[in-house]
């Protein structure tokens, strides 16, 4: 049985930013490093949660395999079999890939919440963040990232929280 570390944390801190992800072609893309590069504030948190919300209805986020790209290709293949183009969708004004994109986004979801431990996302060895792009020509995708938790105290141990700080960047 794994041991559980319990710490009483005093106070809380919040940080929020809106980011743009680079444009991707249709498919599933590993974007963990791109996201981490846009939130250097993460290292200031000793414990907490990172919430990522994509601001689009035809793309989604998922937490899955970060190593073998075949997994991403296989998931894309299965999504296309489950939700094919060419059905008699009522919503069709934006092209044949649009309505299937909305359905795929419903299946996978628009947000992730990932624990923060010692200034890092707490991911399994083979886990990474996926941007699931369901449109052929979507462009840059926007997301809001919210960090909440207890900050590190640089003058003390790395797990000692300091006073709450509210910070927001656009």
What CATH number does residue 63 fall under?
2.60.120.460
* Residues whose CB is less than 8 angstroms from the CB of residue 18 and which lie 6 or more positions away in sequence, other chains included: 55, 142, 143, 144, 145, 170
Task: Tell whether the model's pLDDT for residue 3 goes beyond 80.
Answer: no
C-alpha 111/C-alpha 106 separation (Å) is: 11
Q: What is the mean pLDDT of residues 110-124?
A: 97
Query: In the chain, how many domains are there?
Result: 1
68 belongs to a structural domain: yes
139 belongs to a structural domain: yes
pLDDT for residue 156: 59
Residues in the chain: 170
Helices (H) and strands (E) in the chain, counts: 3, 9
C-alpha 45/C-alpha 20 separation (Å) is: 23
170 belongs to a structural domain: no
Q: What is the mean pLDDT of residues 32-57?
A: 97
Contact 15, 147 (CB under 8 A): yes
- What is the percent of the chain where pLDDT is above 70? 84
Indicate the pTM of the whole model: 0.84
Domain that holds residue 63: 21-152
Task: Tell whether the model's pLDDT for residue 68 goes beyond 50.
Answer: yes
Task: Tell whether the model's pLDDT for residue 10 goes beyond 80.
Answer: no
Contact 129, 29 (CB under 8 A): no
75 belongs to a structural domain: yes
Please list the alpha-helical segments (H only) found in 12-120.
32-36, 69-82, 98-108
Task: Quickly tell me which residue has 């998931």 as its tokens.
Answer: 75
């Amino acid at each position: 049985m794994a041991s559980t570390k319990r710490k009483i944390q005093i106070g809380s801190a919040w940080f929020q930013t809106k980011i743009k992800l680079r444009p991707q072609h249709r498919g599933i893309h590993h974007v963990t490093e791109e996201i981490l590069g846009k939130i250097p504030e993460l290292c200031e948190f000793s414990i907490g949660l990172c919430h990522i919300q994509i601001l689009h209805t035809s793309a989604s986020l998922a937490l899955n395999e970060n190593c073998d790209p075949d997994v991403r290709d296989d998931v894309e293949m299965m999504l296309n079999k489950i939700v094919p183009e060419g059905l008699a969708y009522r919503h069709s004004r934006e092209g044949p890939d649009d309505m299937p994109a909305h359905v795929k986004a419903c299946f996978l979801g628009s947000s992730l919440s990932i624990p923060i431990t010692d200034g890092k996302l707490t991911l399994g060895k083979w886990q990474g963040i996926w941007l699931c792009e369901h449109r052929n020509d979507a462009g840059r995708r926007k997301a809001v990232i919210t960090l909440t938790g207890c900050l590190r105290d640089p003058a003390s141990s790395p797990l000692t929280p300091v006073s709450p700080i509210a910070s927001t960047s656009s």
